[in-house]
Amino acid sequence: MSPSEVRPNSAPSSSIALSVNGRERALEVDNRASLLDTLRERLDLTGTKKGCDHGQCGACTVLVAGRRVNSCLTLAVAVEGDEIVTVEGLSDGDRLHPVQQAFLERDGFQCGYCTPGQICSTVGLLAEAKKGWPSHATADVSHVCGPEGVTLDENEVRERLSGNLCRCGAYANMVPAVLDAQAAERR
Amino acid sequence: MSVLGRPLARLEGREKVTGSARYAFESSPPGVLYAWIVQSTIANGTIREIDSGEALGMPGVRFVMTWQNALALNDAGDAELLVLQSRQISYRGQVVALVLAETLEQAREAAAQVSVTYDSEPADVSLSTTHPRLYAPAYTNAMFATDSVVGDVEAALGAAPVTIDATYSTPAAFNNPMEPHATVAEWHGDDLDLLDATQGTNWARETISAVFGLPPESVRIRSQHVGGGFGSKGPTRPNAVLAAMAARLVGRPVKIAYTRQMMFGLSGYRSPTISHIRLAAEADGRLTAVSHEAFGQVSPIQEFVEQTAVPTRHMYAAPNRLTTHRVVALNLPTPSYMRGPGETPGLYALESGMDELAAALGIDPVELRILNEPAIDPESGEAFSSRNLVGCLRRGAERFGWSARDPRPAVRRDGRWLVGTGVAASIYPADVVPSTARITAYPNGRFELAVNATDIGTGARTVVMQIAADSLGVEASCIDVRIGDTALPAAAPAGASWGTASWGWAIMKAGAALLEALQTTPRIPDSGLSVLSDTAEEVAAMTKMARFAFGAQFVEARVDLESGEVTVPRMLGVFAAGRILNPRTARAQFVGGMTMGLSMALHEDAVVDANAADYANRDFASYHIAAHADVPDIDVEWLDEEDGNITPTGGKGVGEIGMVGTAAAVANAVWHATGIRVRDLPIHPDKLIEQLPSPY
Ligand code: FES
Ligand code: FES
């Protein structure tokens, strides 16, 4: 990252290369730009949504280096070199990611605005469960998992997905979708 | 099996799970400028001076719009839309300037540098039942009578062996769809093109063309995907007017989105309500009087009267009835539509009162409601097109296991938890408004349905396809659906639970006419054979009847003796909403409504800060809505209801009936668990903890 010359009366910007959904994207970004706004306004990747811009709703969730993050709380300049995956990068060509498929089958959404965040968050939480990470809903954190990681149940899903708000109230259908996705991942 | 009634998956589902569905803000025409709103920091007074100099000197900033350089707008009947027209400030957060810049970051930072000074007056922000400026409005929202008096309530109350006199209140409630309001505006000469987050583009076009003095045909508005609305995207909001005005002045396209904080002030909300409920009954449980006096607030610039006592007019038979509405104009943002206006806070009050009455009488709350079931609409004297509240209550009681319930409060202990169950009844009007629709047959066997419906997450796109397929007797896959665009045949907005019935009737009429036309057309031309329908005459000719959907809600609540926290492990809703056209999307509406009702009962609390003269908690960190962990598995069932006296779709609408009774059922379950009657929502732990027994 090379901070460009600061022109008088001009906000400092940086030339960076972002790796998004497996593609290198070179761009000059305002240093103040969030990853969320950079994806949406600069790269036309509008699948990632802005619900609050304050880290309070999860609509902007993307995967950075495999972990779920709120892209509204992440500066674009801070993730140069990291592998960024957005909802647009989950499917394999026309084949939906198992989490997308499960949300579709279980009708895990209504207006769809929180959905990309819920889906990316689910991809992240399945990876966390696989690594054996416990949650607040895990009864015994000393024996959380076998070789496949934590086997989720409804309460685990509700707890682990609570950073993603849904005003339509589609939660009840998302829970079985997440459980389906974990089952599919293990098949 | 007919296409209607099948649980078809949402047409746009794939776009929504892959992120390719575009919402209003998600388009950037060449040359677009970003707009950022500057809001007033006083609640009452006038703008003394606005200094835009520093902002204008900042990089990328192209224009700062204020009352001094804005376009003159016409009054379209909603003063909320008269943005930047004067120095006057009537509530904190009103728009005082709009900054336009090349990027979001530039616009946002420059907005912080616009300096506004004010001449401030004292602000009045507290609602009470004794406020000296309370007044009786001419009518409530949706033109209902302000007051309705039948018989002599006072005499009946004096004579009855059992009475209830209690006051219930609900805080201001903010809709907060996950997609903040947004608009992209672009002028082509004197023609205006808007992408707008709205529940109805025809309504929006009517408003926008009036505000700007344009012929409607030179305004095009589209809303392909809308990230929820819950009433807040019904009327046009300042975002659309600001974007269009700014785009006109700078000669470039403009895009604008509210921040989440702006959603608490510039997009409407439910007024806080206070309901004084008085009930009188004979010892056998028959009501002799029902009185519901409702109080709410409006803003100084625009009157929207929540019709809180209106549902009470239709619920129970009682010879003496009184329902009134009083409001006061306060220096707070303008209240407006929020899911189930009137019914939602009104039924919380009435159905809590009925629960108190049941306890006072020693009668089961399900039975008390059944006992007071009216034969005809108590308010109008008209017959009900169908009324299956009793069926919902009975079926729900059976499915929930109600008969085993011990009526005594505060006697079920499970470790550190007290456990209880509650019930409440629901009602919501089944209205219809005129719409038009066009169906075109093509020689390749496909049909195009064009109807300006809006899908705000309800499944509308899918259901209108099903209705069209059904009316033509073809598979749903033969229909191409076009909605969400004023270029299409005009149709009702998605709101008031009337969308599907209104669109559906027009579609059925077009389908029938097209089938007829096809019989006499030997060969369909390549350009297709079209039929356009309009239901204005049919809607006007409907016989007067009382048309409502009904429901019964059952809830189990657990209250933690250590903390006072309430959790709800189990909810059941049984509904009678006419014919269910798509069980998959209808279920989602019922469940979503119940989830929002749960959120209202236990979480959402808007707190007025008297010093700042505004709502203090204007974000998701402080205005809590139900999250995943708060929501149990929700059980929903509906009765098969054939109602030949509503529209030919047979459906009564499902957008609101799931929500309206939920909060009362939760509060009643909390009472049954603890013996504590919370009459002021939400039921936060502090309202319980001091009265709870020791857990040890
Ligand atoms: S937009 Fe990032 S958490 Fe809400
Ligand atoms: S589906 Fe609308 S906010 Fe979740």
Peptide bond into B682 cis (omega under 30): yes
End-to-end C-alpha distance for chain B, whole angstroms: 60
- Å from CA of B597 to ligand 1 middle: 24
Pocket of ligand 2 contains residue A164 by CB under 6 Å: no
> Does the beta carbon of A113 lie inside 6 Å of ligand 2?
yes
For residues B123-158, one letter each, b for 16 or more C-beta atoms within 10 angstroms of the residue's C-beta and e for the rest, the string is: bbbebeeebeebeeeeebbeebbbebebeebeebbe
Domain residue limits, chain B: 24-122+176-266, 141-172+270-430+545-691, 433-540
Segment B558-587 shows an average pLDDT of: 98
Across the interface, whether the CB atoms of B457 and A159 are under 8 A apart is answered: no
Give the pLDDT of residue B183: 98
Beta-carbon contacts of A17 under 8 Å, excluding residues fewer than 6 positions away, are A24, A25, A26, A27, A80, A81
DSSP string, B456-480: SSS-HHHHHHHHHHHHHTS-GGGEE
Instruction: Look up residue A55 and give its two tokens.
Output: 């880290």
Strand order in the sheet with B529-534: B479-482, B447-450, B436-441, B529-534
Give the count of Cβ contacts less than 8 A between chain A and B. 192
Q: What is the ipTM of this complex?
A: 0.97
Residue A1: which pLDDT band, with cuts at 50, 70 and 90? very low
Give the model's confidence band at A6: pLDDT under 50 very low, under 70 low, under 90 confident, else very high: very low
**What whole-number distance in Å separates Cα of residue B340 and Cα of residue B427?**
10
Mean pLDDT of chain B: 97
What letter would DSSP give residue B451? -
**What SS3 state is found at A113?**
coil
Q: Which residues of A touch B17 (CB under 8 A)?
A: 87, 96, 100-101, 103-104, 109, 112, 115-116, 119
Q: How far apart, in whole angstroms, are the C-alpha atoms of residue B236 and residue B267?
A: 9
Distance (Å, whole) CA B392 – CA B397: 8
Q: Among residues B550, B529, B505, B511, which one has the least CA distance to residue B656? A: B550
Token pair for residue B96? Answer: 């005082």
Terminal C-alpha separation, chain A: 42
B179 alpha carbon – ligand 2 mean position (Å): 9
Task: Read off the pLDDT of each residue in B154-180 and give the average, rounded to a whole number.
Answer: 98
With CA atoms as reference, report the closest residue to B294 among B229, B238, B362, B345: B345
Placement of tokens 């610039």 in the chain? B301
Spatial CB neighbours of B389, under 8 Å, sequence gap ≥ 6: B369, B373, B425, B427, B550, B551, B552, B576
d(CA B467, CA B483): 14
User: What's the average model confidence in pLDDT over B235-253?
Assistant: 98
Q: Does A8 have pLDDT greater than 60?
A: no
| Best CA proximity match to B37, nearest among B123, B99, B114 | B99
Q: Name residues contacting ligand 1 (CB within 6 A).
A: A 50-53, 55-60, 70, 72
Q: Report angle CA A113, A114, A119 to the nearest 5 degrees.
A: 120
Cβ(A63)–Cβ(A128) under 8 Å? no
- B103/A53 Cα distance (integer angstroms): 16
CB contact under 8 A, B18 and A100: yes
List phi, psi (to 5°) of B239.
-55, -45
Tell me the pLDDT tens digit for each residue of B639-662.
999 999 999 999 999 999 999 999
pLDDT at residue number B633: 87
Q: Measuring CA to CA, which residue among A103, A21, A10 is closest to residue A64?
A: A21
Ligand 1 pocket mutation, candidates A41, A52, A69, criterion most atoms within 8 A of CB: A52
Q: By 3-state DSSP, what share of chain A in percent is helix, strand and coil, each rounded to 5?
A: 35, 20, 45
What pLDDT, on the 0 to 100 scale, is given for residue A145?
Answer: 66
Thinking of the domain B24-122+176-266, which architecture would CATH place it in?
2-Layer Sandwich (3.30)
Whether residues B585 and A46 touch (CB distance < 8 A) is answered with no
- B207-223 average pLDDT score: 98
The CATH class, in words, for B141-172+270-430+545-691 is alpha beta
CATH code of the region B433-540: 3.30.365.10
Question: Tell me, what amino acid is at B501?
Answer: A
pLDDT at A19: 98
Nearest CA in chain B to A114: B178
A158/B22 CB distance under 8 A:
no
Percentage of residues of chain B with pLDDT beyond 70:
100
Q: Which residue has the tokens 């062996």?
A: B161
Between CA B139 and CA B221 the distance in angstroms is 31
Kindly calculate the radius of gyration of chain B based on its CA atoms and give it in whole angstroms.
26
Q: Which residues of A touch B258 (CB under 8 A)?
A: none
If pLDDT is split at 50, 70 and 90, which confidence band does A11 have?
Answer: low
Average pLDDT estimate for B382-389 = 98
Closest CA to B460 of B387, B85, B635, B468: B468
Across the interface, of B18, B22, B225, the residue whose CB is closest to A88 is B18
Contacts of B625 in chain A (CB under 8 A): 165, 167
Q: What is the pLDDT of residues B85-118, one digit of tens each?
A: 999 999 999 999 999 999 999 999 999 999 999 9
C-alpha closest to that of B557 among B595, B525, B602, B594 = B602
Residue A13: CB partners within 8 Å, gap ≥ 6? A4, A28, A29, A30, A31
CA separation for the pair B226, B232 (Å, rounded):
12
Question: Is residue B532 a contact partner of residue B439, using CB atoms and an 8 Å limit?
Answer: no
Check if the beta carbon of residue B656 is closer than 8 Å to that of residue B339: yes
pLDDT 10s digits, B139-153: 999 999 999 999 999
d(CA A174, CA A162): 11
Is-catalytic flag, B656?
yes
State the distance from the centre of ligand 2 to the C-alpha of B177, rounded, in angstroms.
8
CA of A51 to the centre of ligand 2 (A): 10
Residue with CA nearest ligand 1 atom 3 = A55
The full set of domains in chain A, from first to last, is 3-89 (3.10.20.30), 98-186 (1.10.150.120)
pLDDT reported for residue A3: 44
Q: How far apart are CA B594 and CA B588, in angstroms?
A: 10
CA A173 to mean position of chain CA atoms? 19
pLDDT at res. A140: 77
Distance CA A62, CA A57 (A): 13
pLDDT band per the 50, 70, 90 thresholds, residue A2: very low
Ligand nearest to the CA of A166: 2
Contact B177 A112 (CB under 8 A): no
Residue nearest to atom 3 of ligand 2 (CA): A166
Candidates B150, B185, B509, B518; CA nearest to B323 is: B150
Within 10 angstroms of residue B398's Cβ, the number of other Cβ atoms is: 11
- What chain B residue is nearest to A57 in terms of C-alpha separation? B620
- pTM, full prediction: 0.97
The full length of chain B comes to 696
The length of chain A, given as a count of residues: 187
| pLDDT for residue A146 | 72
The yes-or-no answer to whether B141-172+270-430+545-691 and B433-540 have a common fold is yes
Structure tokens at A173: 């259908």
| Disruptive mutation site among A97, A111, A152, A178 for chain B (greatest number of B CBs within 10 Å) | A111
User: What percent of chain A has a predicted confidence (pLDDT) above 70?
Assistant: 93
How would residue A148 be classed by pLDDT, with cut points 50, 70 and 90? confident
**Residues with Cβ < 8 Å from B249, sequence gap 6 or more?**
B63, B65, B69, B70, B71
Nearest chain A residue to B61, by CA: A10
What is d(CA B33, CA B588) in angstroms, rounded to the nearest whole number?
38
A53 with A160: CB under 8 angstroms?
no
Average pLDDT, whole number, for chain A? Answer: 93
Q: Tens digits of per-residue pLDDT, A75-134?
A: 999 999 999 999 999 999 999 999 999 999 999 999 999 999 999 999 999 999 999 999
Q: Which residues contact B452 (CB under 8 A, 6 or more apart)?
A: B200, B201, B202, B483, B484, B485, B486, B488, B489, B490, B491
Note the pLDDT of residue A141. Answer: 76
* pLDDT band, residue A143 (cuts 50/70/90): low
Considering only CB atoms, A47 lies closest to which of B20, B59, B230, namely B20
Which candidate, B440, B454, B445, places its Cα nearest to that of B507? B440
pLDDT, position A5: 47
Query: What is the per-residue pLDDT for A7?
Result: 47
Alpha carbons B185 and B670: distance in angstroms, whole number? 49
Residues of B in contact with A52 (CB under 8 A): 260, 619-620
pLDDT band at B447 (very low <50, low <70, confident <90, very high): very high
Q: B410 C-alpha to center of ligand 1: Å?
A: 41
Q: Mark yes or no for CB contact B457/A112 under 8 Å.
A: yes
For testing contact with chain B, the best of A63, A86, A167, A179 (most B CBs within 10 A):
A167
Q: What percent of chain B has pLDDT over 90?
A: 99
Mean pLDDT to the nearest integer, B270-276:
98
Check B17 against A109: CB less than 8 A apart: yes
* H-state helical runs in B520-582: 536-540
Strands B162-170 and B273-281: antiparallel
Half-sphere exposure of B250 (CA within 13 A, CB side): 27
Taking residues B664-672, what's their average pLDDT? 98
